[in-house]
Amino acid sequence: MSPLKISWKSVWSKPLSSALNIMLIAFGTGILTILLLASAQIGEKLDNNSKDIDLVVGAKGSPLQLILSSIYYIDFPTGNIPLKDAEELSHNPFVKRAVPLAQGDNYKGIRIIGTDTNFVTVYKLKTSTGKFWEADFDVTIGSNVALNEKLKVGDTFFGAHGLTGNTDVHKTHAYKVVGILTPQGNVTDNLILTNIASVWRMHDDHEREEAAEHHAEHQDNTEEHQQKEEAKDLDASKSQKSSVENDNHTNGTKHAHIRPDQAGLNEGREITALLIQYRSPMSVVMFPRMVNQMTNLQAASPAMESTRLFSLIGVGVDTLQWFAVLIMLIAAISVFVNLYNSLKERSYDLAIMRTLGARRGQLFQIVIFEGILLTLVGTLAGIGLGHFALQFIGTYQESSQARLTGFILLNDEIYLFAAGLAIGIFAAIIPALQAYRSNISKILSKN
């Protein structure tokens, strides 16, 4: 019978106090695990999604909101920007590549993004099955979308107006899935991609429907109606343009989607934001200032805003971290008191063990193992608890973009494990030393 087994049996012989100690440790470790996993995932998501994008240009408003809506697809967009302005910017010499984004629709909470082939280039996308969108209302969907909504190539679905909710469904046009992306480990896993014209047409037709409904009541809105008709014409030319685009794309030619010669056709059109890659480091200094001062638009840097966001979250994370450390400390004291008290009762037991031939070192081991067993079980339970709790939290998160998962293992968790072990040793070392030093003759003669 090894000292370890004696410790094990001893832990089991006082289930209530052992359970209390284990729970305290598990609770503290659990909170630390959640914090560790969540902040690692948030940090990773922030980095992964913005690493190739230098600047976002959108409507005036909160720069953080602009970044959240256009890089992470979490918040609502700040508004729309005229396509004409966006085109001008994308031909600026500072700009290497500009990706237009048109948001406004969703399918079961998944954002439908109108964009062009530059998006594919910037995010280095590949399809696992099917192809990239070509014609209007063709969509290529992210791997998670395919998985969660059980969509496959050839399926069709209706988009709904707005970024969440499905009350206002666009019944006029159905989107058709033509391709599924390989898992990217970033936001594109949870997006539905199509061309910009699809988003425009969807809305134009939608508005026309509404206009037609109200036509009888509002006889005086002819002027507005005419505008809609105009818009319809533009749609036609727009889809022509996109098919030309797609031809070029299949030929393998890369170029800016929005061409100046078509600017006239796009009069009055709007997009949501423009993602920009700089041509040179010089642009970092010059370009954002130029956008903010010379135009009616706003430029926001993903790197800067992410840092700002993370520092805001950081305060909360720090507080929780200290809270968890405090719980761990209380747990350590509890284990110490538990062992110290039980040592008083057990000093006679330990003395008897010595008379049976146990060495001092073995008594030391018995007590220290007991402390380690309690904290180790607590730590493992806590790590497990943390993972499941985070997974549970993840399933209740509304935004699929920011969804956290508990089912990943981080290398850093080894530190939690080590901390648990250290707490066990720390709490047990004094009682264990006492057991080691005890004068058995004195203890035995007292009874």
Q: What does the binding site for another protein look like in residue numbers (CB under 8 A)?
A: 1-2, 6, 9-10, 12-13, 348-349, 352-360, 362, 440-441, 444-445, 447
To the nearest whole angstrom, how small is the minimum distance from the Cβ of residue 440 to another protein?
5
To the nearest whole angstrom, how small is the minimum distance from the Cβ of residue 380 to another protein?
22
Q: Which is nearer to another protein, 15 or 264 (CB)?
A: 15
To the nearest whole angstrom, how small is the minimum distance from the Cβ of residue 442 to another protein?
9
To the nearest whole angstrom, how small is the minimum distance from the Cβ of residue 354 to another protein?
7
To the nearest whole angstrom, how small is the minimum distance from the Cβ of residue 6 to another protein?
7
- Quickly count: other Cβ atoms within 10 Å of residue 439's Cβ: 10
User: What are the Cα distances from residue 123, in Å, to 49, 118, 182, 278, 326?
Assistant: 8, 9, 12, 15, 43
Angle, CA 102 vertex, CA 98 and CA 103 arms, to 5°: 135
Which DSSP symbol is given to 183? Answer: P
Q: Which is nearer to another protein, 201 or 354 (CB)?
A: 354
Structure-token pair, residue 408: 């990943």
Please provide the DSSP assignment of 212-233 as one string.
HHTTTT-TT-HHHHHHHHHHHH
Q: Which is nearer to another protein, 316 or 361 (CB)?
A: 361
Q: Which is nearer to another protein, 426 or 436 (CB)?
A: 436
User: What are the Cα distances from residue 376, in Å, to 8, 21, 273, 370, 407?
Assistant: 12, 11, 51, 10, 21
Q: Which is nearer to another protein, 254 or 359 (CB)?
A: 359
To the nearest whole angstrom, how small is the minimum distance from the Cβ of residue 376 to another protein?
19
To the nearest whole angstrom, how small is the minimum distance from the Cβ of residue 357 to another protein?
2
To the nearest whole angstrom, how small is the minimum distance from the Cβ of residue 25 to another protein?
21
How, if at all, do strands 273-278 and 138-141 pair?
Answer: unpaired
Structure-token pair, residue 146: 């395919």
**Closest by Cα among 429, 417, 275 to 343:** 429
Q: Which is nearer to another protein, 17 or 121 (CB)?
A: 17
Q: Which is nearer to another protein, 166 or 362 (CB)?
A: 362
Structure-token pair, residue 56: 């976002």
Q: Which is nearer to another protein, 13 or 253 (CB)?
A: 13
| DSSP-derived 3-state class of residue 324 | helix
User: What is d(CA 224, CA 215) in angstroms, rounded to the nearest whole number?
Assistant: 11
User: What are the Cα distances from residue 43, in Å, to 36, 40, 47, 186, 406?
Assistant: 11, 5, 6, 12, 15
Structure-token pair, residue 115: 């964009």
Structure-token pair, residue 50: 């913005």
Structure-token pair, residue 428: 């047990």
